[in-house]
Structure 1
Amino acid sequence: MQGEWRSGRSRRQTSIREGAGNMPQSWIGRMSVVAGANRLIPKQTYLRIFLGVGLLFAIVSVPFAFLLSNQFSRYAMNQIDKVSEAEMAHSRDNAQFLLNKMISYGLNMYANKNIQAWMMADAESQGTQVDALAAGTQYMATEPFLDNVYMINMQTEHVIDLRYGIASFAQFRDPSLLDLVRHPHPSYQRFIPHELYGKTKLALVIPTVPSGQLSFGYLVLVLNEDLLKQYLLKDDGKAGVLSFILDDKGKAMLGPANDSFESLYDGYVSKVSAEQGSFTARYENETWSVQYAKIEPQGWTYFQMAKVAGIQSDFRTFQTRMTVFLASLIILLLAILFWNSRRTYRPFSQLANQLESKFGTGLRNMTSEGPSEEYRVIRYGIEMLENRMDQLDSSMREHRNVIKAEYLRQWILQGKLITPLETYLRQEAIPALFEKDGLFVGVIRINGYSAFKEKYSFASRKLVKYAMGNIAEEIIRREGFAEAVDLGGDHLVLLIAGGTLDGDLLPRLLEETGEQIMQWTQVRVALSVSGQKATVDDLRAVYQHVLELTMLQFVSGESKVFLERDFEAYMRKVEPLPDDSLLDDLIAKVRMGRTEEVSAGLDRIFEPMQSMLYAQSKFQLSHMLYTLFKAFNKLPSVESVEGINGLLESFDTLAGVRSWLESELLAIIEELSSRRNSSRRDEVVTEIVDYVRSHLHDPNLTIEEIAEHVSLSTRHARQVFKDVWGMTLSDYILQERVEEVKKLLDTTEWTVTDIGERAGFQTKSHFFTVFKKATGKTPSQYREGV
């Protein structure tokens, strides 16, 4: 069977591996990519926010930068066009002004009388020649735009060339000019291109008559082409700017006129559709932006060209600079964003790390990997902190209850309130206890405490007493206020406030308390209460007296709430023994287990009673049994007695009472012996420790009282405690008191004297001696060191 199970398991593992091998590789690849992407995502929240916002900012900023640069480029282009139009208009106006000026200058020169005299003369005269030559030279010298001036006399067929002198038509070096002036021109006073020695220049013939009517003399002004280009045109090949002037037929009037530009001029005039405008053209495989403006009245057109590539290059340079600037701005903003994100959100990452390190795997198990991991860590961490705060709040409430109980125990055991305790109790813990008029002290004592101890463990006993205290508080608070205090023994102390509780109301409430305790806990109790006291009274004495009142239930056998007047009535009836030391000696012999000496002790006590009357002996026996009950009330053999009077009336002779009492005392010795040999030593020591801590404030706390509480002899209580705890009981009490002093010096501002009283030291000198011996410092020095 085992082999089959193993073979089946191996087949299943093989099939699983095969199934895994047959899984689609693409799916596995996608999973790997997703896992890798998750690993690339940083865990820190501030980094994720920075990367996300930075990416979003970059996605928004880069297109915005290009859009802004493009919009600016368009705006710049429009502005350039406007500037170019204005510049073109200015250049046109300059050209018109210069040409009109030259026309006016030529007409003025033509009207000169010396020049007119020579041009209209029908024969050559040296005087007229000299005067005309002088006048023309003067005009040419004052106008820099003139390159040369020709004065032509058609009658004498002579020409005065201001640069070369006077020559006849046959000797004139520019015969084509003579043909030019002889032919009619279609319009008045227009400049015409004139070529001489392969160089074309603008010339103005005066007068110009469209009808072709010949004149006796002509004045021809030849303009300086280089100077005109310098002032009217913009020619910069490196900058990609060209300008020229064309006539209405597309012939160059001013500007480059070689063959390489013929293709450039073709079709430009046909594109002129307004007085001023622009268009684009292709030239030498490049795109040019062409601005034009008409020059009137010449009928010419002024053109200015600029390479679009150059303009675009400038714009691209600007766009690049703008992009670099925006990129630098983006980097700066991202740095600011990273700093702000790190400063703002890094504490959350640190908080998540602290929470994760604080709560460990418990918190990591509640979170998952991913971008929102820190959010989950903080969320679950806060939830866990909230739970812990609830637990801490509950613990603090319990701690406040513990402090309150400690202070009330100190008040009861020391009998008075020191100022810090009174301030805390009156203002913070239980102000209602001090607001009411008067204070009552009550005691709830458990009957049959030995059986109670046998039935319940130490922790369970404390819970039952806690429940009893709650029942008492709930019932009494219907009419007043009550606070239950557990002193660690077989009883609870009730501090009751309320001026309206006088008379029978408070006893009735306590009777109801006893009934409810019996109903809910199945524990019989004895109850007693004092009269109204003041908070400044000796509360320890009142408490001890009220505790004594509960013992009257054993004497009387009555189930009632015992008051102070009941004790007074009892004490009036009871007469003390002739020698109280005999009874104390008997109690000591019982505690030490000396069986053989008990009978002799009883003989010495009962011998004087033989001569007493019945009533007297009955009172003596009542007092003796009452004292023995107080000493051994926690033993079952005595707790069965319901009333001393009823018990005594069941015996016919004094010898019968003695015989019964001797048997009871021997049973007590046996009970004590069995307890000494019991294996419950740890629980006994636990009870001793609890009693010591509950009565630490009591300056009168003794080892004998502690031994009595656990029903052991003093010697045996010391031995048991030392065996289990490792130190003597006296040293333990001093150690606890010193630790209490240290805690109060560290956590309060109480005076050293108040702290000493709070810790149960009887005198200030004893307090200082013990504390310095334990710590090497005085209390004041210790507080300063802290």
Structure 2
Amino acid sequence: MKFRQPFFASLKRHPTYMKLIFYFVSANVLVLGVSFVLLYGQSSKTLLEEIGDHSESLLVNGARNTSRLMEWALDFSFSSSNDSTLKVYALSDHYSDFETYEVWSQLTDIKNANPSIDSVYLINDYTNTVIDSRLGLNDTAAFYDQDIIKRLRDPETANHSVLIPRTLSLPLTGNTPKEVMTIVRFYEKGSSISAFVMNVDTHNLMTLLQNNSNFASRSITVLNDRDETIFSSTPMNPQQIAELRSHGMKGASGWKLFQPRDQGEKLVVYADSSVKGIQDWTFIEMIPKSAILNKITVLRDTSLILFLVLFAASLAVIILISKRVYSPIQELISRVMRQHQAEKPGLEANANELEYLSSVFTSQHNQIHELTEQWRHNKFLGRERFLRDFLGETYHSATEIRAQFVEWGIDLPSDELSVAIFRIDHFAEFSGVYPEKDRRLLRFAMSNIIQESLQSSRHKLQTVDMGDDHVAVVLSAPLSEEFAKELQVAGQLIQQYLSVGTTIAWGRTLPGLTDMHEVYLETYDLTQERFRFGHRSLIVKEWLPAAPGELYHLPVSQERQIAQAILKGDAAVILEVLRSAVVKLRELPYFECKMSLITLFMDIRRLIQEHSSQPLPSSWGLTSIEKQIIRQETMDNVMPWMEALITRTLEDIAAARSQSKNIALIGQVDQFIESHLTDPNLSATMLADHLGLSVNYFRSLYKAETTQSITDKISEKRLTFICQELIASDSPIEPIVQHFGFSSLNTFYSSFKKVYGMTPAQYRKKYRAGDGGGKV
């Protein structure tokens, strides 16, 4: 009794120690009991059911995900094939090299849109050619994929051309075969084999499916509803496929034990999935039963012994902890508690020592983390600020620059540096939609993509967000085609992930650190060359040809051509001269090209103004033209705008001339009517003969210009003069009517009453009474 009392009293003074012993022993006993129940209370059949159900769930999810990937490929192929450029090319019987290059570039973009796409073809049955995203233009007879040509020409196989599993021998690789799923979109099914063909890499498509399970000896097979093998991790002959189908491996989903011929018993898991309702795929996973149950049996037999040993060892460990570990821990807890109470007096300690210690450590850890993050953020901002100043301002001392490199941890050499700039295309449209915060996030994302893309290079580099529309890269790479291609790849990744096109310019290597500002400005000016090279170009200063720096002026002979075309209203001649001039402008550097284009516009403006009676609209002003050229960014965008402006202006001039001529004609007609009102033969036919026009044309022209028929006009004029005569004289009505050309009194009385709502006699009586004047 004397022994037990001090022992329990000591335990009460150390509640954490008591909990430690209690939790440790309880955990061991609990684990031992649960393991015993699970391993000995459950049969191998139950374990197999659990594994089968789990494998079925994994396979169903894998089948759905794989089907979605295939459905995406189907949607993408059909949307891509609907492109009007591809359709026209596939159904044309002739084409230019430039059209072929455009189509090949488009097919290459489609292929690069997803890594699962192996290749894309465009078959033209009218020219017996195939454009392949891999090799370009090929004759149909010499094309390496003769299998698809034969399938499309065979009516039986052509009817099953949506999802075709087949083996494709790749060119330029020693005919290495590759399993693919082929999607065909006919443009004229039944008339020709002109079609859009996309090959999807089956192995890439099935990547998620293959990673579903950790059983090394398992196999995966995918069959379509015609029992064609779409994918199989182990070769299967038709007899083996038929044997699987005969045992009911076609349904929604499930699993069963199955023993193939000459093989051991296997757990077969299967799941069905429909691809857009076009095909039904059956996914089959086979796992050897021995691979599952052998390990479970060994584990079941050894676990009990292992846990008994561990339980005995844990009791011994508890004793060692009490003697050698817990005492130092208790001392540490006491010291921390005293220090914490001294720093924060009045704070009561938690009854649980470990919880109190944990709260103290957590608080200190959070403070350290906040300080670390603040330091990192400040260092990142400081380095960004220095790099912007390094490029945007002139440094007078190389020593100062090297010191800043060391301070901000910038790993760049002191010489042989150059600058590359990634400038966003169509930035004016982007900035008009998104605020500065979003534009800053875009440049940040661009910097990360460039850094990730180029970090595998052996050359050192630093990306810099320079604001506005570009990101700069400070490089230590010498001029080489290899690194230029890496810059292009970085631009393609930006386009792929951010849907933003960029023009890339790579400037000269600077002789010293203090010249970085000058080289940066030169490189930024170099991006302006996209005006003649187009968007998404790579412009390398050292590779640009030495172009003349003189401005282009329109030859006198071409000025005469334009002047004659303006007189004739022939826009085609003017546009032809303009296009020939633009071809020569493309050979000039950006500044000379832009100024020559403005000069060309001013010459055309002068010629049009000389032959136009009206002032030209403000869109022909010098400031407006220069703004439009800058806004369009490239010559390819400027040309359609130029042609539309010229065409519209010539149409306005022609319309103005036509309107002026018609107004004069209408005035001549009105004068002729007034001078021949007393002629009973006055009519549309008489006027048309006088003017030398056909009667129908004259009637339509007069009605279009005045919105009144010529007959109504003549009648209106005669009635006006008759009304004046009725009021001014006492002459009988009939002679007045006959004098002004009305051959029929009935016609006159009907017209008069229709216009004035009364008879001529009533009209004369009313307006002679002096009650308001005559109605004329």
- Same-fold call, TM cutoff 0.5: no
User: Which structure's CA Rg is the greater one?
Assistant: 1
Give the TM-score of the pair, scaled to structure 2.
0.32
Give the TM-score of the pair, scaled to structure 1.
0.31
